[in-house]
Amino acid sequence: MKAVFAALIAVLTIPGCGALSALQGEPDRDVFDLRPPVDGMRQCSARGRAELTVEPPKSGGDLDTERIMIRPNPLQVQYLPDARWSDTVPTMVQTLLVRTLGSYDVFSHVGRAPLGMSGDVALLTEISDFNAVTGEGGTRILMRIDAQLVEEMGATVIARRQFRADVPATSTATAQLIPAFDAASQQVLSEISTWAVGAVGRGATCR
């Protein structure tokens, strides 16, 4: 009993997050984030501005995690042992959408919740793929997000579209996978923002 107590005291004296990881049996992992594709305000030729609410994306349970997924085949799920995202995949995607769409002046406000009782338009998304795949064709990053823009007042669907990215990676090593994830994410986010601005801004052009 004394030996067990001494071991516990030794673990508790480990500085920082290492102590918690050791207690939970979890290894330390490098933490990664992804970037929005735009930096600074985008000026658009649109009349009137709408308030946009970005709802929390839906996903399967295997994606609702901070772990970085790899699929060696369509029926198997694995995760990188030495790395994780800064947040769960749905929360990270929601943050990226808010930051990306918030850079367009077509929208008076972009956020996770409306400023008042309800906003003008809601963006609803579902993440089907956000992972690396391996196979005879090499390693690739697949992303697929289904999106809908809904007018909140009348619960009317304004537009609906699926967005996909397929980006090659040189290997399954973390140093090669993360830049490929970033490239795929920026492609999908750029396409979603162009589509949303066009649908809500009625064909607005931006610079």
User: Are 40 and 97 in the same domain?
Assistant: yes
- Tokens representing 65? 């995690």
User: Are 13 and 102 in the same domain?
Assistant: no
The total number of structural domains in the chain stands at 2
Spatial separation of the C-alpha atoms in residues 69 and 77, rounded to whole Å? 7
Spatial separation of the C-alpha atoms in residues 119 and 121, rounded to whole Å? 6
- Tokens representing 138? 């090499």
Between the alpha carbon of residue 202 and those of residues 45, 125, 150, the distances in Å are 10, 21, 14
Between the alpha carbon of residue 86 and those of residues 55, 139, 167, the distances in Å are 19, 23, 21
Domain boundaries, position 9:
1-30
For the chain, 207 residues long, give each residue's pLDDT as a single digit of tens. Answer: 444 334 333 333 333 333 333 345 567 899 999 999 976 667 776 656 789 999 999 999 999 999 999 999 989 999 999 999 999 999 999 999 999 999 888 888 999 998 887 789 999 999 999 999 998 889 999 999 999 999 998 889 999 999 999 999 999 999 999 999 999 999 999 999 999 998 987 656 676
Q: Is residue 112 part of a domain?
A: yes
User: Are 2 and 102 in the same domain?
Assistant: no
